[in-house]
């Protein structure tokens, strides 16, 4: 299900829905990779509020675009227009009623545009008051990319903001240099040379984390808002692909918390409706009967509560409470494995940690949960002579000795999360050499050593 399928009124919404139904063209906006890697971004946009008539309504409008794409084929041109037509709505999801301000806290957030084939474009946004005196309206810098790496793009937005305070003209050479640079491999750095008037030449280093599976996430907001037990219940709901709504006022808090919740599912990927900050015009998303994970600003809480919703987990991030729940969230996961997760999360929480260390500390126990429950999947893919695999579902869950684990896995194998993962594994002759596979091998080695020690004792 595309996050654009819920736009339901007017020509813009029709265009967006059409775009979402054309998965075969979805990759046209991902610029071709260099020999050394992907491009950093597709577009840098500035979205400003423009007055509508004589009332208090303003309409978000793109007032700057880099690069201007020329010589596009007709189909590519239409695709670009659809994409650019959607973006302003997500840069100002709070509605159209604004008044000029003298103070406004800077906010960094992101949104995701999802096509029906699951391909996603990420909008990295910085919303702030432009330089000047007197009341003025906020504007948004938005970088559109196919790459998920929130920390790195936040640093790029810092550089864009610094240059905009001087002149829009200073942004162009910086973004041009960035566009010509290859996206670094995990653990690698790309250094850009940039000239700023009155400051001279600057060298800007952009480094990707070595462990790239967590580079798009920061767990600190989620930990500030919720207790470990609550995070575990959100994880349990997500694993069974239920409907989850996060409420918060700040755009930064919403987008960081929803990205963090989705990241707990690694190595699996949430393939359903996923909108980190739902624009006011799309609030009827919460009435959808299919799975979704969405963020809604607190000002729309009553509107959400009054909506005719199916069973849902409604999380108030401001108060750290569940306003609505199904009621069985504590019983979804096997009790022993729940205790293991909580014990691991509780260890060393008072020690100072870097962002990467914190991410690993929070994510690790959830990865271990999947290692223990489904880490044996590769042994139950039977291959034909041509290499095509066939997953032996019944034998797979029967291999689990724990009844509680078996009961959980029998449900989990029916989810789209697991189905998509297994479909990829069936196509590949060997398990992917990634972080999850590394943890599986470590766990198997620990089990062997434990058996060996037990034999020695006997």
Residues forming a β-bridge with 123: 111, 144
| Whether pLDDT at 74 is above 80 | no
- Give the start-to-end residue ranges of the domains of the chain: 38-172, 217-457
pTM: 0.85
45 within 8 A of 62, measured Cβ to Cβ? yes
Each residue of 359-416: pLDDT tens digit?
889 999 999 999 999 999 999 999 888 878 999 999 999 999 999 999 999 999 999 9
Q: Say how far apart CA 183 and CA 165 lie, in whole Å.
A: 26
140 within 8 A of 127, measured Cβ to Cβ? yes
Phi, psi of 67 (to 5 degrees): -85, 160
The pLDDT score that the predictor gives to residue 190 is 86
Cis peptide before 67 (omega within 30 of 0): yes
Average pLDDT over residues 81-105: 88
Each residue of 248-276: pLDDT tens digit?
999 999 999 999 999 999 999 998 999 99
Nearest C-alpha neighbor of 207 from the set 192, 227, 229, 222: 192
Dihedral angle sign, alpha carbons of residues 424, 430, 432, 437:
positive
Average pLDDT over residues 315-331: 97
Task: Give burial (CB, 10 Å; 0-12/13-18/19+) of 26.
Answer: buried
The pLDDT score that the predictor gives to residue 152 is 85
Kindly indicate the confidence band of residue 13, based on its pLDDT and cuts at 50, 70 and 90.
very low
What architecture is the 38-172 domain classified under in CATH? 2-Layer Sandwich (3.30)
* Side-by-side strand order, sheet with 243-248: 273-275, 292-297, 243-248, 313-316, 321-324
Q: Say how far apart CA 387 and CA 344 lie, in whole Å.
A: 39
- For the domain made up of 217-457, the CATH class stated in words is alpha beta
- The CA–CA distances, whole Å, from 151 to 20, 36, 281 equal 28, 21, 29
| Whether pLDDT at 35 is above 50 | no
- Residues in contact with 349: Cβ distance below 8 Å, sequence separation at least 6, in sequence order: 361
Phi, psi of 260 (to 5 degrees): -65, -45
For the chain, give the percent of residues with pLDDT over 70: 87
């Amino acid at each position: 299900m595309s996050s654009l399928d819920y736009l339901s009124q007017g020509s813009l919404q029709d265009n967006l829905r059409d775009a979402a139904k054309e998965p075969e063209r979805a990759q046209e906006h991902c610029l071709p990779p260099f020999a050394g890697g992907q491009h950093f971004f597709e577009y840098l946009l500035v979205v400003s509020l423009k007055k509508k008539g004589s009332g208090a309504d303003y309409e978000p409008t793109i007032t700057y675009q880099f690069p201007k794409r020329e010589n596009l084929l007709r189909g590519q041109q239409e695709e670009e227009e659809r994409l650019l037509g959607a973006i302003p709505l997500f840069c100002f999801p709070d509605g159209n009623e604004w008044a000029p301000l003298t103070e406004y806290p800077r906010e960094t957030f992101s949104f995701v545009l999802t096509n029906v084939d699951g391909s996603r474009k990420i909008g990295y946004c910085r919303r702030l008051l432009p330089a000047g005196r007197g009341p003025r309206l906020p504007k948004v810098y938005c970088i559109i990319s196919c790459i998920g790496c929130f920390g790195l793009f936040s640093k790029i937005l810092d550089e864009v903001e610094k240059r905009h305070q001087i002149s829009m003209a200073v942004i162009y050479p910086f973004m041009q240099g960035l566009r010509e640079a290859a996206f670094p491999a995990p653990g690698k750095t790309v250094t850009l040379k940039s000239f700023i008037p009155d400051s001279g030449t600057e060298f800007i280093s952009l480094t990707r984390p070595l462990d790239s599976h967590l580079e798009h996430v920061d767990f600190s907001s989620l930990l500030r808002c919720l207790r470990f037990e609550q995070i575990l219940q959100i994880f349990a709901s997500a694993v069974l692909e239920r409907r989850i709504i996060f409420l918060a006022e700040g755009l930064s808090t919403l987008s960081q918390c929803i990205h963090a919740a989705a990241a707990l599912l690694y190595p699996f990927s949430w393939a359903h409706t996923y909108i980190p900050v739902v624009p006011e015009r799309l609030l009827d998303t919460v009435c959808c009967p299919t799975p979704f994970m969405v963020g809604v600003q607190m000002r729309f809480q009553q509107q959400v509560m009054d909506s005719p919703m199916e069973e849902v987990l409604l999380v108030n991030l401001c108060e750290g409470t569940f306003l609505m729940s199904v009621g069985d969230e504590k019983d979804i996961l096997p009790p022993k494995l729940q205790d293991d997760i909580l014990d691991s999360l509780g260890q060393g929480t008072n020690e100072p940690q870097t962002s990467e260390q914190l991410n690993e500390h929070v994510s690790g126990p959830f990865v271990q949960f999947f290692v223990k429950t489904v880490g044996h999947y590769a042994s139950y893919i039977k291959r034909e002579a041509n290499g095509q695999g066939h997953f032996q579902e019944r034998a797979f869950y029967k291999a689990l000795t724990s009844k509680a684990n078996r009961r959980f896995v029998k449900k989990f194998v029916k989810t789209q999360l697991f189905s998509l993962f297994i479909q990829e594994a069936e196509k590949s002759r060997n398990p992917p050499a990634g972080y999850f596979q590394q943890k599986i091998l470590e766990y198997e080695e620990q089990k062997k050593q434990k058996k060996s020690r037990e034999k020695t004792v006997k």
